[in-house]
Amino acid sequence: MDESNGNAISRRGVMGGAAVGLAAAAAGPAGAQTSGTPASRTAAKDDPTTKYPKPPFRSQSQPWPGLAGKMDPRPDHGETSYKGSGRLQGRKALITGGDSGMGRAAAIAYAREGADVAISYHPDEEPDAREVIDLIRKEGRIAVALPGDIRDEALCGRIVADAVRELGGLDILVNNASRQQQRQSLLDITSEDFDATIKTNIYAMFWLTKAALPHLTPGSAIIQTTSEQAYDPSANLVDYAMTKAAMMNFTKSLAKQLGPKGIRVNGVAPGPIWTPLQVSGGATQEKLQQFGGDTPLGRPGQPVELASIYVQLAAADASYATGQVYGAAGGGGQP
């Protein structure tokens, strides 16, 4: 889920661009008059370097796990911008951490693509979760709220069972919920810290997937939110980065196991994304204020900018994609 590091142009494209430039120069003043056309304004609006807020951000902190509704600026999960086209019509999805961040963006997108959606979340995230439930229901889809601490194996089993019962089945599982707490030194990571991160990020993924498998049929999809931290770990996110690498390998290994059964398994590896992870202990205040500023796009990503990736990986027309990890890191991350 990351959000942490804040951390090819073809010859034909170059020549084409040169040709356009020469044509514009030849046009002289007449060409200059087109700068205010609707097309040019649309292009400016879609400029990825200016489309969303850039640092510096104000210093802010919240107790873990944090609420998106209290962040400044408030993250964009696609509440007003994501438009669906029926790509997931009739599907049944369970998304962990569906109250905020990429989980929320996926939940909104899935509902607008025609899916019924269950979200699990920590009880302290209830205000954010209620907003998501309302947004799903406004699309005329079934919405299921499943609060609880997924560090408990029995609860993970109940979450899956409740989702299957309320949705009438299950064919998409998104293992998105994660815990991220920065520590400047390994000596600062207590056994309790380590245990909480491992159980939230790895054990819960294992328990939830194991509980879901008996309900999944050919054409189903499992998606993990891993991170650029799996490839390029930060010095102060040792335990978190470990779990994200484990999630990546879980994705690739399970894809090989489930491929013959017609069940696809893929991952999403975000870079610095503006979510409650950052303001609730996932980043230092210094890092937070400049969050995402060192990417080529000069800003952090917004959760909505990854929504279409989660849709694509769940959609039937991506039927040959399995064992893949899709990155979105503003130009500075991997893969």
List strands edge to edge, sheet with 92-96.
143-147, 116-121, 92-96, 172-175, 221-225, 264-270, 325-328
What residues act catalytically? 240
Q: Locate tokens 């299921």: which residue? A: 144
What is the C-alpha to C-alpha distance for residues 31 and 24, in angstroms, rounded to an integer? 6
Angle at 57 between CA 291 and CA 305, to 5 degrees: 55
Q: Which of these, 202, 326, 315, lies nearest to 270 by C-alpha position?
A: 326
Long-range contacts of 95-98 (CB under 8 A, 24+ apart): 95/119, 95/120, 95/174, 95/176, 96/120, 96/121, 96/150, 96/159, 96/174, 96/175, 96/176, 96/177, 96/204, 96/208, 97/1, 97/121, 97/176, 97/177, 97/178, 97/225, 98/129, 98/132, 98/174, 98/176
Is the CB of residue 240 less than 8 Å from the CB of residue 199? Answer: no
Q: Report the alpha-carbon distance of residue 227 to residue 68 in Å, rounded.
A: 20
**C-alpha span between 250 and 115 (Å, rounded):** 26
Please count the CA atoms within 13 angstroms of the CA of 226 that sit on its side-chain side.
32
3-state per-residue secondary structure call for 284-303: CHHHHHCCCCCCCCCCCECC
Which class for 33: exposed (0-12), middle (13-18), buried (19 or more C-beta within 10 A)?
Answer: exposed
Q: Which has the closest alpha carbon to 106: 74, 84, 126?
A: 84
